Amino acid sequence: MQKSDIPFLTATELSRLIKAKEVSPVETVEAYLERINEVDPKLNAYITVCGDEAMAQAKESEQALAQGNYRGPMHGIPVAVKDQWWTKGIRTTAGSNILRDFIPDEDATVMTKLNDAGAILLGKTNLTEFAMAYTYHYPFGTPTNPWDLSRMPGGSSAGSGSATSASLCATSLGEDTGGSIRGPASYCGIVGLRPTAGRVSRFGLLGSCWSMDTIGPMSRTVEDCAMTLKAIAGHDPKDQYTWKTPVPDYTAALDGNIKGLRVGILKERLYADHVEDEVKQAILKASTVLGELGANVQEVSLPLVIHDRAISSPITYLEGSMIHHDRVRTMLKDYDHNMRMTLLTGSLIPAQTYYKAQRLREVLRQQFLDLMETVDVLVYPTSASPAPPIVDKPGLGSKEEVKDEMLYGRRTLTALANTVGAPSLSVPCGFSATNLPLGLQIVGRPMDETTIYRVGHAYEQATEWHHMRPPI
């Protein structure tokens, strides 16, 4: 195998080769760093590339293998992480000039878990400021979509989506508050999971909404995604909101068998007026494939879901403004224009509105749980359209744009899972007429990532989409 071919292996393929000592961690990291150097100037996926640190880790990883100290499937696997949580000795910017020179003296728990699993950190990826601002401007430069450099890669985990799709890492981590993993996954043609709230520790996360922030994996295949989640999931004494339940062996469940599983096509999300026809057709074709694989597919209804973004937006904006309360009072001018607008909007939301939104959130959650008694998973589009063009403007201009973005979520259709605390997976399900990826969203019951992985993997293996590479 040529060293230049290594970045195009899946993480699980690479894992097997490293374990068998057919590929070394050192040559793997060298191959990835060379590709990052060649391709990332076009994508701007990374804020910080940890070349020296990665090579040092690779040498330690190789020595451990030689001594028989194999740490598991993630041993020697090069990983990129969203620049939103602490990395000891490596700057953590949260995509903001305010933290341009911030170097933590402690790792976030997900980094500790990755290190313990033997993974190698390649670098920190680009994001909208504090994972909150609109995707029109990035303080560290605008990331692009590897399928079309004139298109958005999605936000806020833009860099992780772009880097993973373009094979600038073997797998990656993002963070999802309202769709920030699944949106970029859909736009960039990769797999992205928003785990159940509490499945993954948030200690060390520079969060934007304490009741919805969730760290999760972004990968090129479902198996890679499952392997990555296994490495980072689990109870953490430093995060009181993490569950104490055992972490399943997600990859063991990927047997391709979904016979008898009940799949509900969510009508309100599939047939919404703003969902483009080619997206609808891709989801219907994907549903047909699931039926051919033995699943029982039927259309189902959750009427309140059309208001999920209107319910979640007051919560995310107000909680975000409270997280930044002290800085807003003293450093407002240091934020980018988009972030200032976001924080000021959140600060104007009355407590009564927040209270009503939380009450409606509980109503929606109960309706969702009732519906999930009748089906095992829900399926519908991840996004209403393929990746939109990159727009050069300061932010949202009109009242209609604000309503579309803040209240209705007309681009991404991801708010339900975050609002009710459920796991949600996006997998590639085709391409638009302009050769841009489309995403199938699979939502499951809380703490049941295993089932949505089973469904996603069965669909993936029955189709060709995961074999497609962007032209870069």
Look up residue 366 and give its two tokens. 């109960």
CA–CA separation, 95 vs 165, rounded Å?
A: 20
Average pLDDT, stretch 278-285? 98
403 pLDDT exceeds 70? no
| Per-residue pLDDT at 411 | 74
Q: Which of 15, 82, 313, 424 is catalytic?
A: 82
Rounded mean pLDDT of 311-333? 95
The pLDDT score that the predictor gives to residue 392 is: 76
pLDDT bin (cut points 50, 70, 90) of residue 395 is low
46-50, 400-404, 431-435, range with the lowest pLDDT = 400-404
pLDDT digits (tens, 9 = 90+) for 55-66: 999 999 999 999
Mind listing the pLDDT tens digit for each residue in 82-97? 999 999 999 999 999 9
Would the pLDDT of 427 be above 50? yes
> In whole angstroms, what is the distance from residue 241 CA to residue 199 CA?
9
Instruction: Place 308 in a pLDDT band, splitting at 50, 70 and 90.
Output: very high
Find the distance separating the first CA and the last CA of the chain, reported in whole Å: 21
Give the pTM.
Answer: 0.97
Task: Identify the band that residue 394 occupies on the pLDDT scale cut at 50, 70 and 90.
Answer: low
List the domain boundaries for the chain.
3-467
Distance from C-alpha of 157 to C-alpha of 82, rounded to nearest angstrom = 6
Rounded to whole angstroms, the Cα distance separating 323 from 98 reads: 15
Strands, sheet with 262-266, edge to edge from the N-terminal-most edge strand: 46-49, 120-125, 78-82, 171-176, 214-219, 191-194, 424-431, 437-444, 377-381, 262-266, 296-300
Per-residue confidence (pLDDT) for residue 222, from 0 to 100: 98
Residue 402 — pLDDT band, cuts 50, 70, 90? low
pLDDT of residue 133: 82
Q: Which of 303-325 are b and which e, b meaning 16 or more Cβ less than 10 Å from the residue's Cβ?
A: ebbebbbbbbbbbbbbbbbbbbe
- With contact defined as beta carbons under 8 Å apart, do 3 and 22 qualify? no
Q: Are 128 and 138 in contact (CB under 8 A)?
A: yes
Residue among 180, 219, 321, 426 flagged as catalytic: 180
156 is catalytic: yes
Residue 418 clears pLDDT 70, i.e. is over it: yes
Contact 126, 174 (CB under 8 A): no
The structure tokens listed for 73 are 């499937």
Distance of alpha carbon 350 from alpha carbon 346, whole angstroms = 9
Output 221 or 395, whichever has higher pLDDT: 221
**Of 191, 186, 164, 162, the residue nearest 254 (C-alpha):** 191
Q: Is the pLDDT of residue 108 over 80?
A: yes
Mean per-residue pLDDT over the chain, rounded: 95
Tell me how far the alpha carbon of residue 319 is from its chain's centroid.
Answer: 21
Residue 404: its pLDDT value, please?
58
How many CB atoms are located within 10 Å of the residue 85 CB? 25
Mean pLDDT, residues 24-45 taken together: 98
Share of the chain above pLDDT 70, in %: 96
What's the pLDDT at 397? 56
CATH number of 3-467: 3.90.1300.10
CA distances (Å), 235 to each of 194, 239, 241, 249, in order?
17, 8, 9, 15
383 is catalytic: no
Task: Give the span between the Cα atoms of 115 and 75, in whole angstroms.
Answer: 9
The answer to whether 180 is a known catalytic residue is: yes
Tokens linked to 11: 């993480």
Q: Is the pLDDT of residue 1 over 90?
A: no
**pLDDT band with cut points at 50, 70 and 90 for residue 396:** low
Average pLDDT, integer, range 129-142: 88
> Catalytic one among 61, 96, 156, 321?
156
Identify the pLDDT of residue 337: 85
Mean pLDDT of 281-287: 98
For residue 341, name the pLDDT band (cuts at 50, 70, 90): confident
Q: What is the pLDDT of residue 154?
A: 95
What mean pLDDT comes out for the span 375-394? 92
Q: What is the mean pLDDT of residues 442-463?
A: 98
